[in-house]
Amino acid sequence: MSSVWTAAEIADATGGTANEEFAVDGVAFDSREVGAGDLFIALTGEHTDGHRFLEGAYAQGAAGALVSRDAGGPHVRVADTFAALEDLGRASRARTAARVIGVTGSVGKTSAKEALWACLDRSMPGEVHRSVKSYNNHTGVPLSLARMPRDTRAGVFEMGMNHPGELAHLTRIVRPHVALVTAIAPAHTEFFPDESAIADAKGEIFQGLEPGGTAIVPFDSPHRDRLIAAAKPYAARIVTFGSSAGADVRAIEAVRLPTGASFVTARFGSDPATARELSFTLAQPGAHWVSNALAVLAAVDAIGADLGLAGLALADLGGLPGRGARFTAPLPDGGGEALVIDESYNANPASMRATLAVLANEPGRHVAVLGEMRELGEHSARYHAELAPALAAARVEAALLVGEAMGPLAQALEQTVNVVHVPDTASAIGALGGVLSPGDAVLVKGSNGVGLSRLVATLRGQ
């Protein structure tokens, strides 16, 4: 396998100067993630300076570093390491022949990105690159591009934002052939006047489309027409997905199986003479996953990849840590076991409702461990209180609510549900023993900053 970058290529891409020749097989800006053969990028920010960690990065096997001052090992020196990271991402994009898909949305973007990778890897094994984790911001996107192997055939890049203008910048670095919006929902509302403004910000992803590119839009969204209008100046083709008549990629059948999976038949196109159908099993439970799968298949079809193999991949798709992974947790003192649904990575009102609907279909007593939803601005109290009907529909009998912002929901539930309201995750971990019982089905979900992943780790016995 050829290297990802040589020192000469890094210097050429960034306008920097190499102190010696070296080659790297990967790229990292977090010194804790540096592996043998990597390029370590010493970013300088408000709270830390990556140059402080150069010695440790070399000790961990870094083959070289991108720096803005002299270093003790092999390096390329530039004026600004953040600008150089973006330049390296642009250079990676410029040299690749890969078909590139960009993904954004208020909910489901990481899940859709992972599902797309799984679907494309079936037909191009070992030749598909994707963003890792949720590296979807101003540093994560160029890093994900910079890591892309030079012989990649397809690339899938997640792009996020919490302010207007961010996606417009990121998408022009990624330059996707296909740009996908999964859904529009209240998220980061602290920074936007209303949901329409969120839709406008998400629609910025279409501005980076390559000539002849495809925009993929949720048909059932109330913001569909707004997104289509945003795509028209940039997209040669606009494809909609959803369950309603009129969607270009439509679920004409979605049957929940006893295992929690769904059997789905999707129709591609509305003209009877040319329409195609694909029936597949979708391993991940929930109506929101049916929508995600339709979006993913629309993107697979847009780049001409194999839909049949994509359907097989969706049948094998497992839950991601923090985004639907399931495990059986032993209760203390040999008190039996509980099913845990780990949705701890993030939360907003739409994703809370979607995952509570999944909990509704599980056997046993239903328990919700919910962390507060952040960045909801002046309407935060209302958004939290309005989750009460979703908990009722999910037949939640006990709720462990974490964070001050969960107060309005605790008040809304106090007459119908056994509620324990605690200030933080440490307190929630201490309260688990009094909440859980053998045979429970437990949903864990909250904004990432609440730290419910630590509670999940406790349930796993880690």
Which SS3 state, helix, strand or coil, does residue 221 take? coil
DSSP annotation of 176: -
Of 384, 363, 365, 355, the C-alpha closest to 443 is 355
- CATH number of residue 391's parent domain: 3.90.190.20
Last residue of one domain, picked from the residues 249, 281, 316: 316
Segment 173-201 shows an average pLDDT of: 89
Segment 101-124 shows an average pLDDT of: 95
| Pair 267, 411 in one domain | no
| Pair 303, 337 in one domain | no
Q: How far is CA 65 from CA 11, 74, 281, in A?
A: 11, 6, 46
248-289 pLDDT tens trace? 999 999 999 988 899 999 999 988 889 999 999 999 998 999
| Pair 133, 246 in one domain | yes
Task: Answer yes or no: is 186 within a domain.
Answer: yes
| Pair 111, 155 in one domain | yes
The pLDDT value given to residue 333: 66
| Pair 189, 105 in one domain | yes
Alpha helix (H) residue ranges in 28-80: 54-59
Task: Answer yes or no: is 51 within a domain.
Answer: yes
108 is in an annotated binding site: yes
Segment 387-400 shows an average pLDDT of: 96
CA–CA gap between residue 158 and residue 172 (Å, rounded): 13
| 459 phi/psi in degrees, rounded to 5 | -65, -30
Task: Answer yes or no: is 87 within a domain.
Answer: no
Residue 221 near residue 246, CB atoms below 8 Å: no
Task: Answer yes or no: is 283 within a domain.
Answer: yes
CA–CA gap between residue 348 and residue 297 (Å, rounded): 25
Last residue of one domain, picked from the residues 297, 316, 335: 316
Segment 173-184 shows an average pLDDT of: 97
| Residue range(s) defining the domain that contains residue 375 | 325-460
The amino acid at 216: I
CA–CA gap between residue 341 and residue 366 (Å, rounded): 11
Last residue of one domain, picked from the residues 288, 316, 344: 316
310-351 pLDDT tens trace? 999 999 998 888 888 999 999 876 678 999 999 998 899 989
What percent of the chain stands above pLDDT 90?
84
- CATH number of residue 55's parent domain: 3.40.1390.10
**Stretch among 36-40, 108-112, 198-202 having the lowest mean pLDDT:** 108-112
Does 132 have pLDDT greater than 80?
yes
- The tokens of 321 are what? 């840590």
| Pair 296, 375 in one domain | no
Of 252, 309, 319, the C-alpha closest to 289 is 319
Neighbours of 414 (CB within 10 A): 12
The pLDDT value given to residue 334: 67
Tell the burial category of 186 from Cβ atoms under 10 Å away from its Cβ (0-12, 13-18, 19+): buried
Does 1 have pLDDT greater than 60?
no
- Length of the chain, please? 462
410-420 pLDDT tens trace? 999 988 999 99
CA 17 to chain centroid, in Å, comes to 36
22-51 pLDDT tens trace? 999 999 999 999 999 999 999 998 788 999
Of 26, 163, 159, the C-alpha closest to 102 is 159
Segment 438-459 shows an average pLDDT of: 95
pLDDT band at 239 (very low <50, low <70, confident <90, very high): very high
| Pair 74, 169 in one domain | no
Does 16 have pLDDT greater than 80?
yes
The amino acid at 161: M
CA–CA gap between residue 427 and residue 260 (Å, rounded): 32
- CATH number of residue 264's parent domain: 3.40.1190.10
| Pair 180, 291 in one domain | yes
CA–CA gap between residue 367 and residue 60 (Å, rounded): 43
Cross-strand partners of 287: none
Q: Which residue has the tokens 């001050």?
A: 404
| Pair 255, 404 in one domain | no
Task: Answer yes or no: is 109 within a domain.
Answer: yes
| Pair 212, 300 in one domain | yes
437 is in an annotated binding site: no
| Pair 156, 297 in one domain | yes
206-237 pLDDT tens trace? 999 999 999 999 999 999 999 999 999 999 99
pLDDT band at 378 (very low <50, low <70, confident <90, very high): confident
The pLDDT value given to residue 147: 96
Dihedral of alpha carbons 218, 219, 224, 225, sign: positive
Task: Answer yes or no: is 118 within a domain.
Answer: yes
Task: Answer yes or no: is 86 within a domain.
Answer: no
What percent of the chain stands above pLDDT 70?
98
Taking CA 257 as the corner, what is the angle to CA 291 and CA 240, rounded to the nearest 5 degrees? 15
CA–CA gap between residue 332 and residue 436 (Å, rounded): 10
DSSP annotation of 164: T
Average pLDDT, the chain: 94
| Pair 67, 158 in one domain | no
Tell the burial category of 220 from Cβ atoms under 10 Å away from its Cβ (0-12, 13-18, 19+): middle
Segment 174-189 shows an average pLDDT of: 89
- The tokens of 404 are what? 């001050």
178 is in an annotated binding site: no
361: Cβ contacts below 8 Å, ≥ 6 apart: 256, 260, 285
Q: How many domains does the chain fold into?
A: 3
Task: Answer yes or no: is 303 within a domain.
Answer: yes
